Structure 1
Amino acid sequence: MSRRGRFARMVIGLGVALAAGAALLFGSPAQSGEPQPLPLAATWPNAARGSVPSKLPDGSEYSPALFLDAKTSIGTAQSADSTTLRLVVRDGDGKLLELRKVPAEHHAPFAALTSSGDTLFWVESVSGKQQLWSADRRDPKTARMLTADVGAMQFYDSEHDLLVADGRVRWVSSGTGDETEFRSVALTGGAVTVTKQKGTWGLAAWPWAADGQHSARGATTLLNLQTNATVRTPSADRTVTACSAVWCQIVSINQDGYSRIDLAHPDGSARRKVIEGNVATAITDVAVLDRFEVIAKTTTQSDLTGNQQLLVHDLSNRHLVLVSPDAGNISYRAGVLWWSTGDQSSFVRNSLDLRTIP
């Protein structure tokens, strides 16, 4: 986890702890004017949804890493004999297609999955060495390594850790000292191009990158990698800022000790409060699809279950929607939000394709 992520969770955790103590002593303070969440089914009745059992038919655990739609996912699973780890495509009917497999001794060998059309891209780590791979999602025979010249790749649990733009696959690696390498390779492989920038940067929607990946205050600048233009982002003491190319998320603690989440454009305009209370940002990415802010809210049951309310704030109309009252393991990639319900011994992963919301 990056320093920014640890600090954000520390700030949010402090707010939750203070609020919990106040509630025990005085009862929960009234937060007048806070929006009441709307039910998912009534608010977005036509949104595509799905569910994925946590186990494959052979009994092995399945962990989705990317959804192509609400019912089709790509993820990892052990083989039935536990000797290999597999990268598989699981369609809406439960059919499986194995794309790759590596010996099970390698921990978390598949990372940063992304797609462009029917082509999948991922990072494969074997024996401590990282490689960039691709395959047609319908044909395992097309799986091949694009390059091993990836540098010291940096992942921030973002959908932009590995992205496809302008005919190239792009990522960041740490350089020498306080330096970031922006690397890319053609979709067919070949020579890797490298440009360097002082600071710790992560990719946002192309062609933008955000700095402050290891900073307690988060992002202070957006950089256009095509023009070298920069935008100073909203940043202040006792806040943590994270930015996409269109929106910046500013997390702070209010005077009652609760977390407050604001959104503003990178130039500081159109700033508005999204929510405050026992809340936290549920995913790394900010205002996904330039429209939806994904939020987790701690409830009285959270200490018992370890789960939280999963909420989505719709910037188009400022509606707050309750997606799940008891969600765990919240993830997002490429327009699809997914989470688990149940307990560790028996759970289901549920999905919501935000791209299908009108």
Structure 2
Amino acid sequence: MPASGSSTPPTALVSAATAWPQAERGTVQPRLADGTEYKPGIFLDARTSAGTAETPDGRFLRLVLLGAGDSVRELRRLPRPRHPSFQTFAVAGDELVWVEGTGGGRPALWAAGLKPGRPARLLSADVGRATFYQSQYDLVVTGGRVYWAAAGAADSTEVRSVALTGGPVRIQPQAGTWKLSAYPWLVDGVNQAAGATRLRDLTTGREVAVARAGRRATTACGPAWCRVAALAGDGTNRIELMHPDGSGRERIAGDVAATVITDVAPLDRFEVLAQVGPNSELTGNSQLVVFEMATRQTIEISPDAGSVSYRDGVLWWTTGNLDGVVWHSLDLRTV
């Protein structure tokens, strides 16, 4: 945990291979064995992912499970002329859950067993006006149900859920605009420049106020940690972590750092950042780093990372350029 009240940013920068030699890593080539382009949507571990690829004839978009040894299992396919998309994913135990849609059609919630012989199944075609924020909490699977947030009427939010076996959708209306966080928590501030101001327990209705971080600050929160992006008095940017009540506030990065994923403090142990370099504006890539709370070290993950994503303990990113990219993964749960 960061030292309470410390204001000095960490200066040590070591490579992930040196700091975490036991951590599991993986590499995914941009094309499957059949020559089609593959884009991962979620990693189950460092070497297993689910993502999308067209069929070799270009007629369908497939959702596939890519395993060790580049084994491929098709979970679902949708006709290309319908402009299909697989929009967000979650994994719980042996279940993969996702939202899929087609151009002009209503999105639907689907699931499939990760073990062979358990085909994809429709959970619900009634997702409402679902709202997704590229967060691991866009879909939350707990207690045998899948939860998601949808826009309600008159500045309200619907927390919707359905059983993993399918059935009717349960709707819990919430006044205000909220998004899901670690269950059972909701967080507000979705459309506010200052960011989060409250957390709400979905099961009890209890609210927790988020400490004000300053006039020139934007706060993103979960139930354990908040990330503050602030403009300091000297005109420089700074990124800080604190608990929602304002305790434990500490600067973790300075002016060249930027937030790079939506979720705050993955596993309550790390903060993922990008260090912008002189070529970042030209290439679109940056130095990907992770601040480790326990050691107060900044660890270099990649010196030249492109697209960065995170879900359920696994961080992944690209290297390369417009002529071709390679996907890399790091399972932070194994650190």
Q: Under TM normalisation by the shorter chain, which class is it?
A: over 0.9
Out of 216, 236, 257, the position equivalent to 2:235 is 257
Please state whether the residue corresponding to 1:60 is helix, strand or coil: coil
Out of 312, 315, 327, the position equivalent to 1:337 is 315
| Equivalent pair of 2:10/2:297 in contact (CA under 8 Å) | no
TM-score normalised to structure 2 length: 0.94
Tell me the alpha carbon deviations over residues 277-302 of structure 1, each in whole angstroms, 9 at most, x when there is no partner: 11111100000001110000100121
Structure 2 residue aligned with 1:198: 175
RMSD: 1.4
Alignment of 1:209-220 (within 5 A): 209-220=186-197
Alpha-carbon distance in structure 2 between the residues aligned to 1:79 and 1:207: 39
> Displacement, 1:256?
4.2
Structure 2 residue aligned with 1:328: 306
Out of 92, 96, 103, the position equivalent to 1:116 is 92
| Equivalent pair of 1:111/1:123 in contact (CA under 8 Å) | yes
User: 1:33/1:216 Cα in 2 relative to 1: closer, same or farther (>3 Å)?
Assistant: closer
User: 1:33/1:314 Cα in 2 relative to 1: closer, same or farther (>3 Å)?
Assistant: closer
Out of 169, 172, 182, the position equivalent to 2:146 is 169
| Equivalent pair of 1:99/1:137 in contact (CA under 8 Å) | no
| Equivalent pair of 2:127/2:150 in contact (CA under 8 Å) | yes
Alpha-carbon distance in structure 1 between the residues aligned to 2:9 and 2:310: 29
Out of 222, 225, 228, the position equivalent to 1:244 is 222
Out of 286, 289, 292, the position equivalent to 2:267 is 289
| Equivalent pair of 1:199/1:212 in contact (CA under 8 Å) | no
Please state whether the residue corresponding to 2:251 is helix, strand or coil: strand
Out of 147, 150, 154, the position equivalent to 2:127 is 150
Please state whether the residue corresponding to 2:81 is helix, strand or coil: coil
> Displacement, 1:255?
3.6
Deviates more, 1:250-259 or 1:190-199: 250-259
Tell whether 2:206 aligns with 1:229: yes
Alpha-carbon distance in structure 2 between the residues aligned to 1:60 and 1:166: 37
Alpha-carbon distance in structure 2 between the residues aligned to 1:173 and 1:183: 7
Out of 254, 279, 290, the position equivalent to 1:276 is 254
The 4+ residue runs of structure 1 with deviation greater than 6 A are none
| Equivalent pair of 1:234/1:250 in contact (CA under 8 Å) | no
Opposite residue 271 of structure 1, the aligned amino acid is R
Out of 29, 36, 52, the position equivalent to 2:28 is 52
> Displacement, 1:136?
0.6
Structure 1 residue aligned with 2:114: 137
> Displacement, 1:92?
2.0
* Percentage of pairs with the same residue: 47
Structure 1 residue aligned with 2:45: 69
Alpha-carbon distance in structure 2 between the residues aligned to 1:233 and 1:106: 44
| Equivalent pair of 2:178/2:186 in contact (CA under 8 Å) | yes
| Equivalent pair of 2:51/2:65 in contact (CA under 8 Å) | yes
| Equivalent pair of 1:234/1:241 in contact (CA under 8 Å) | no
Structure 1 residue aligned with 2:3: none
Alpha-carbon distance in structure 2 between the residues aligned to 1:58 and 1:224: 47
Opposite residue 195 of structure 1, the aligned amino acid is Q
Opposite residue 203 of structure 1, the aligned amino acid is L
Tell me the alpha carbon deviations over residues 264-321 of structure 1, each in whole angstroms, 9 at most, x when there is no partner: 1111111111111111111000000011100001001213321000000011121110
> Displacement, 1:139?
3.3
> Displacement, 1:55?
1.1
Alpha-carbon distance in structure 2 between the residues aligned to 1:146 and 1:204: 22
Alpha-carbon distance in structure 2 between the residues aligned to 1:167 and 1:265: 30
Number of equivalences: 326
5+ long unaligned stretches in structure 1: 1-31
Alignment of 1:29-48 (within 5 A): 34-48=10-24
Alpha-carbon distance in structure 1 between the residues aligned to 2:154 and 2:81: 32
TM-score normalised to structure 1 length: 0.88
Opposite residue 287 of structure 2, the aligned amino acid is Q
Structure 1 residue aligned with 2:161: 184
| Equivalent pair of 1:112/1:161 in contact (CA under 8 Å) | yes
